[in-house]
Homo-oligomer: A and B are copies of this chain.
Amino acid sequence: MVRWQPGTSERLQAAALDLFASRGYEQTTAAEIAQSVGLTERTFFRHFSDKREVLFHGQEQLTEAFVGGVAAAPADATPMELVGVALDTAAELFPDERRSHSRLRQSVIGQNPALQERERHKMSVLASAMSDALRARGVAEPAATLAGQSAAMVFGVAFGQWLRDDEERSLADIQRELLAALRGLTGASPTG
């Protein structure tokens, strides 16, 4: 019988992040992560397929937030309004109390090219899922592809800004400012 303790995933994630940050990602094993919180390697692998997945566990949840945001938006929303609702929904996954965790995670990823590539892949999956969701809402091509990619772009740039040491605005606020900046930039008026 498998005992699934609530909070075990979160404990393993926190422990992994501490070890990755202090010892280095490559130097840390799944067994060491588990041991550091009094668990066995077997328990670790019941929660994560490998140590990399500890860092990318939230991918599905993130994609679901974006796609769910598109589905829940008002019927008369324009494509970019759908993007705006999706970004707002996704931002709820990253309240300010999560910022220090996300900063630590980013510092680990920033030191490892393979993890950076996994992060790029994640963003490309997110863009595709958003474009699919927009098509499902009746958005035609090429608007669906461009708006889906714009959503991932704004999220990526905003998330990087949110993690900066001197940044105190919420992710939602940063995203809204960037979306407005994108609209100003691509509109007809000169901004040079």
> Are B178 and A182 interface neighbours, CB within 8 A?
no
CB distance from A153 to the nearest CB of B (A): 5
Closest to A152 in B: B153
Set of chain B residues within 8 Å of A72, measured between Cβ atoms? none
A139's partner among B150, B177, B188, B192 (CB-CB below 8 A) is B192
Confirm or deny: A6 has a beta carbon within 8 angstroms of a beta carbon on chain B. Answer: no
Binds B, one of A30-38, A55-63, A74-82, A94-102: A74-82
Set of chain B residues within 8 Å of A149, measured between Cβ atoms? 153, 156-157
Contact with B along A160-192 (1 / 0, CB 8 A): 010000000000000001100111111110111
Interface of A is mostly: helix
Binds B, one of A7-15, A19-27, A39-47, A116-124: A116-124
Confirm or deny: A16 has a beta carbon within 8 angstroms of a beta carbon on chain B. Answer: no
> Are B142 and A146 interface neighbours, CB within 8 A?
no
Identical copies of this chain, number = 2
> Are B78 and A190 interface neighbours, CB within 8 A?
yes
Set of chain B residues within 8 Å of A192, measured between Cβ atoms? 76-79, 81-82, 137-139
> Are B117 and A186 interface neighbours, CB within 8 A?
no
> Are B146 and A181 interface neighbours, CB within 8 A?
yes
Confirm or deny: A143 has a beta carbon within 8 angstroms of a beta carbon on chain B. Answer: yes
Confirm or deny: A126 has a beta carbon within 8 angstroms of a beta carbon on chain B. Answer: no
Residues of A at the B interface (CB closer than 8 Å) are: 76-82, 117, 120-121, 124, 137-139, 142-143, 145-147, 149-150, 153-154, 156-157, 161, 177-178, 181-188, 190-192
9 additional A-B residue pairs with CB within 8 Å, beyond A146-B178, A150-B150? A76-B192, A79-B185, A80-B185, A82-B192, A139-B192, A142-B161, A142-B177, A146-B182, A149-B156
> Which 6 A-B pairs rank lowest in CB-CB distance, beginning with the nearest?
A186-B186, A78-B192, A78-B190, A183-B186, A120-B120, A149-B153
